[in-house]
Amino acid sequence: MTSNNNSMDSKQLIIQRSEEHKQLFIPNLSVDPVIFGFDQNKLKVLLSKLNYKKMWFLPGGYVKYSEDLDDAVIRVLKERAGISGVFMEHFGIFGKTNRSESFFDEFDEDLFHKQRFITLGYYALYNPNKLNPIPDELSEVCEWKYICELDKIRLAMDHREIIDKALLALQEKIAIKPIGYNLLPEKFTLSEFQKLYEAILGKELNRGNFYRKIKNLGILRKLDEQRRGGAHKAPDLYTFDEEQYNKTLKNGLFNW
Q: pLDDT tens digit string along 114-163?
A: 999 999 999 998 877 777 787 888 888 899 999 999 999 999 999 999 99
**pLDDT for res 22:** 95
Both 200 and 83 in one domain: the answer is no
**pLDDT for res 65:** 95
Number of structural domains the chain divides into:
2
Mean pLDDT of 188-199: 92
Both 29 and 116 in one domain: the answer is yes
**pLDDT for res 98:** 87
Mean pLDDT of 51-57: 93
> For the chain, what is the mean pLDDT?
88
Full domain range(s) for residue 239? 179-249
Beta-bridge partner residues of 31: 61, 120
| 195-213 per-position pLDDT tens digit | 999 999 989 999 999 899 8
Beta-bridge partner residues of 42: 39
Among residues 126, 158, 173, the one where a domain terminates is 173
> Distance of alpha carbon 94 from its chain centroid, rounded?
16
Q: Helix and strand tally (H, E) in the chain?
A: 7, 9
* Nearest one of 69, 93, 73, 92 to 83, comparing CA atoms: 73
Q: Is residue 119 part of a domain?
A: yes
Instruction: Decide: 216 and 202 in contact? Cβ < 8 Å.
Output: no
**pLDDT for res 133:** 80
Both 196 and 156 in one domain: the answer is no
In 126-244, DSSP assigns E strands to 139-146, 220-226, 236-240
**pLDDT for res 243:** 87
The three-class DSSP label of residue 216 is helix
The residues, ordered by sequence, that sit 6+ positions from 43 with a Cβ below 8 Å of its Cβ are 36, 37, 146, 147, 167, 199, 200
- Cα distance between residue 200 and residue 237, in whole Å: 22
**pLDDT for res 67:** 95
**pLDDT for res 80:** 86
CATH of the domain at 210: 1.10.10.10
CATH of the domain at 137: 3.90.79.10
Mean pLDDT of 84-92: 89
Among residues 157, 173, 189, the one where a domain terminates is 173
HSE (side-chain half, CA atoms, 13 Å) at 110: 4
Among residues 153, 173, 193, the one where a domain terminates is 173
Both 67 and 113 in one domain: the answer is yes
pTM (two decimals)? 0.88
Both 120 and 224 in one domain: the answer is no
Q: Is residue 255 part of a domain?
A: no
Q: Is residue 254 part of a domain?
A: no
Instruction: Give the max Cα distance, the chain.
Output: 64
**pLDDT for res 9:** 85
User: How many other C-beta atoms lie within 10 A of the C-beta of residue 232?
Assistant: 5
Q: What percent of the chain has pLDDT over 90?
A: 54
Both 134 and 243 in one domain: the answer is no
Both 159 and 66 in one domain: the answer is yes
Mean pLDDT of 178-202: 89
Both 23 and 123 in one domain: the answer is yes
Burial 123-155 (b: 16+ CB within 10 A, else e): bbbbebeebebebeebbeebbbbebeebeeeeb
**pLDDT for res 4:** 40
Both 14 and 137 in one domain: the answer is yes
Quickly state the pLDDT bin for 173 (edges 50, 70, 90). Answer: confident
